[in-house]
Amino acid sequence: MALSAYAAGRTAIATTAIVVAGAASADVATTAARAFAQHCFSPFLTVRTAQQVLGETGARWDFYDLDPFTNAAPSPAFGLRPATAGTDRRCEVSFDGNHTALAVELAKTGLAAEALTTAVPVPATHAERDGTALLEARRLNPRRIAVVHVGTRKGPDGTETFMNVERLTPSASQSN
């Protein structure tokens, strides 16, 4: 059955919209993953900077720092979910689609750029789950570890990729 001119035009518009939306999703993923890698591993990241560099990517983001390394005021957990028990800092981005290869590559780049290369066992509080592409713990200093988690999960618009790093409290780090 032949499409009417109107239906053919609507099909072309819908196809173009899907292609543009897919390109926009890839742009957000690349921008957000780069912002995560460049900023989330820094001990000097503040909520103000996180809002500027992560918020401008178009991705969903979450940040708290209950015990900053700088003279910045503590940032309470306000974002996507409550603070994880045993942690005092989280930096996370999430974006539509499955972009785990990009996210894992850039998370590893961020770890290397901050010289976070000493692997330690992942604590039981940070278990692997369906969709996990990367789950690693790194020694930050003799008293602290951080856990990096990258993967996919159900998001508000379907599958989303997430990149997360959480800093454990000194007591939680020592019990690991």
Tokens matching residue 111: 């770890």
Cα dihedral sign, 126-127-131-134: positive
Query: Could you state, in order of their start, the residue ranges of all structural domains in the chain?
Result: 5-174
pLDDT at 8: 39
> For residue range 102-113, what is the model confidence (pLDDT) as tens digits?
999 999 999 999
pLDDT at 25: 63
**Residues of the chain scoring pLDDT < 70:** 1-25, 176
User: Could you give the CA distance from residue 18 to residue 63 in angstroms, rounded to a whole number?
Assistant: 31
pLDDT at 9: 40
* Predicted structure pTM score: 0.83
pLDDT at 147: 97
User: Could you give the CA distance from residue 65 to residue 172 in angstroms, rounded to a whole number?
Assistant: 16
Angle at 132 between CA 126 and CA 135, to 5 degrees: 45
pLDDT at 82: 86
